[in-house]
Amino acid sequence: MPLVFGRSILGFAAADTGVTWTADLSSASYDSKSFLFTSQDTLPMGLAFNNNGTKMYMLGGFSDTVYQYSLSTAFDVSTASYDSVSFSVSSQDSNSFNITFNNNGTKMYMVGATGDSVYQYSLSTSFDMSTASYDSVSFSVASQDITPYDVAFGSSGTKMYIVGFNNDSLYQYSLSTAYDLSTASYDSVSFSVATQETQPTDFAISSDGTEIYVVGLANDTVYKYTLSTAWDLSTASYASVSFSVASQENVPRSVTFNSSGSKMYIVGSQNNSVYQYSTVAAPAWTNPNLATASYDSVSASVSTQASNAHSLVFKPDGTTLYLLDDGNNAVYEYDLSTSWDLSTLSYSSSSLSVSSQETSPSQMYFKPDGTKIYIVGFNANSVFQYGLSTAWDLSTASYDSVSFSVSSQTTAANGLAFKPDGTKFFVCDFTGVAGKVYQYSLSTAWDLSTASYVSNSGNLTQEGVAAEIIFNPDGTKLWLGGPIQDKVFQYSLSTAWDITTISYDSVSFSVSSQENNLRGFNFKTDGSKLYAVGWTNDTIYQYST
């Protein structure tokens, strides 16, 4: 049941919350929070919240009944308790799938597959299921799909959307009177999601109508789509962004978000639970100004774990740091009690050995959702792929038995970066071959078994031994650093993500006052901080940009 935020989903309306949201699936992670519904129904199908997140509603598929819960902490499902309040919809449909509310909780809508219809209800007290009654109003969608699985409304209540399990498509309708099903008509507009999901069960729409999130049974994954014209399905396209929920639930029935888009919820009938995720949107990126960068006089030693610190990556929210060590051929995980502040760094006692694949690992890259790690090194001259069964939890990592050799291009592979959608990656050469960077394509995103070599560029002559490369989010800037100059150099790409169009910006920043054997660096997700590490001190240093 998606709750389309805006004025329908979950009943969140722009007028009610003042919040416009979209969700960042690329940064999503499981909160390790859930709530079990089996005391009420062993086939949970739909989920909804009231506007402030203090009430939760579950539609049970076995009983065809809506159950009401209270949350002592808003939008935190681990604090839920049953209100002993329920409302049966079985008289309307014996195969009920999902529910949603209007913007103020005085109307509820249920979609069912026995009658292939949407049904309308009134609540005399907002969001109080004990006051619900059927309006004797329904709308058939059988001409579009005979197994409708979910319903949602546009921000003003004059648009309605259905997802069909039979035809793997979304359908768009107009209502001449807002939220009144008796005035609905089909717009003859639909959008197929079959390329990503052949058994869609639910969807949610961002509050501004520019993004749709679809989940289904075929892949146990949430897929993101964008609409170039808000609320117009005819302008929808796949955003090449997805997030797997299979580690928690492999029969997902429903997806929805909180009122800010920072939390996502999945309901499934494998475990009869609702699971909570964080979808923290990355802060707006501003390209670092290396010309005015300065040392923060903040550092953190990692020498207890690492003897040749080589590469560092942060979790997008800055609460976890990962360090690749060439000395022990391992990745180490650290916690930061204050996000992005190295002075609060502590070792989490979690690590991943990569020695069975690479005995000279040089750089690493995390998939943006934290479910994959990629390692490159100059012994095997290959990129190796690892999976994490729990996102960002290094203790759950294991080798995928997937790799890709770059030995035809370089005999000293170093530096590794991916395009955020996983369709391109880049490796640089550690042999002093004019700072050369090699570009590869993946026909299936994030799957190294589908990689192929594309081209290279040798214009990065400022650092003869390229150790690390970092791109900005849109692929128009690249930064390179290494142990000869102990500097970070800045470059521009006239065509985003095309390494053959690169040129030097004549801008650099030296870290030699702190580290004279620079091996790795990275930026905060908004570009305002730089972090550098090297072999001399096995210490991470923090800078402002």
- Do the domains spanning 9-278 and 290-544 agree at the CATH topology level? yes
Q: What percent of the chain has pLDDT over 90?
A: 78
Q: Give residue-wise pLDDT tens across range 251-284.
A: 999 999 988 788 999 999 999 999 999 886 556 7
Residues near 64 by Cβ (< 8 Å), separated by ≥ 6? 88, 89, 90, 93, 94, 95, 96, 112
Contact 171, 151 (CB under 8 A): no
Q: How far is CA 461 from CA 8, 481, 482, 484, 541, in A?
A: 55, 11, 11, 12, 25
Other beta carbons less than 10 A from residue 494's beta carbon: 10
Euclidean distance between CA atoms 426 and 438, whole angstroms: 5
CATH architecture of 290-544: 6 Propeller (2.120)
For residue 401, what are the contacts with CB-CB under 8 A and spacing of at least 6? none
Which H or E run contains 387?
strand 382-388
**How many other CB atoms are there within 10 angstroms of residue 188's CB atom?**
10
Residue with tokens 């005015």: 292
CATH numeric code, 9-278: 2.120.10.30
Residue 443, burial from CB neighbour count under 10 angstroms (0-12, 13-18, 19+):
exposed
Predicted pLDDT at 479? 96
Cα separation, 117 vs 111, in Å, equals 6
More confident residue, 245 or 368: 245
Q: How confident is the model at residue 7 (pLDDT cuts 50, 70, 90)?
A: very low
Reported as a pLDDT band with limits 50, 70 and 90, residue 25 is confident
User: In b/e form, how buried is each residue of 206-227, taking b as 16+ CB within 10 angstroms?
Assistant: bbbbbbbbbbbbebbbbbbbbb
Spatial distance between the Cα atoms of 16 and 101, rounded to a whole number of angstroms: 13
Please state the domain extents for the chain: 9-278, 290-544
* Alpha-carbon separation of residue 474 from 145, 206, 328, 382, 500 (angstroms): 39, 22, 34, 26, 16
The pLDDT score that the predictor gives to residue 45 is 95
Report yes or no on whether pTM surpasses 0.75: no
Please name the residue that has the structure tokens 């390790």. 32
CA distance 334 to 289: 27
What was the pLDDT predicted at 432? 56
- Cα Rg, the chain, nearest whole Å: 25
The candidate with the shortest Cα–Cα distance to 325, out of 479, 534, 521, is 534
Rounded to 5 degrees, what angle do the CA atoms 115, 120, 126 make? 145
DSSP reduced 3-state for 344: helix
What pLDDT, in 10s, does the model give residues 36-82?
999 999 999 999 999 889 999 999 999 999 999 999 999 999 999 99
Picking from 237, 259, 202, 314, the residue whose alpha carbon sits closest to that of residue 542 is 314
Give the pLDDT confidence of 97-111 residue by residue, as tens digits: 999 999 899 999 999
Average pLDDT, the chain: 91
What sign has the CA pseudo-torsion 485, 490, 494, 498? positive
Per-residue tokens: 393: 């939890």
| Three-state secondary structure of 431-465 | CCCCCCEEEEEECCCCCHHHEEEEEEECCCCCCCC
Rounded (to 5) percent helix, strand, coil in the chain: 5, 50, 45
Count CB atoms within 10 A of the CB of residue 62: 12
Position 306 scores a pLDDT of 93
Average pLDDT over residues 405-411: 92
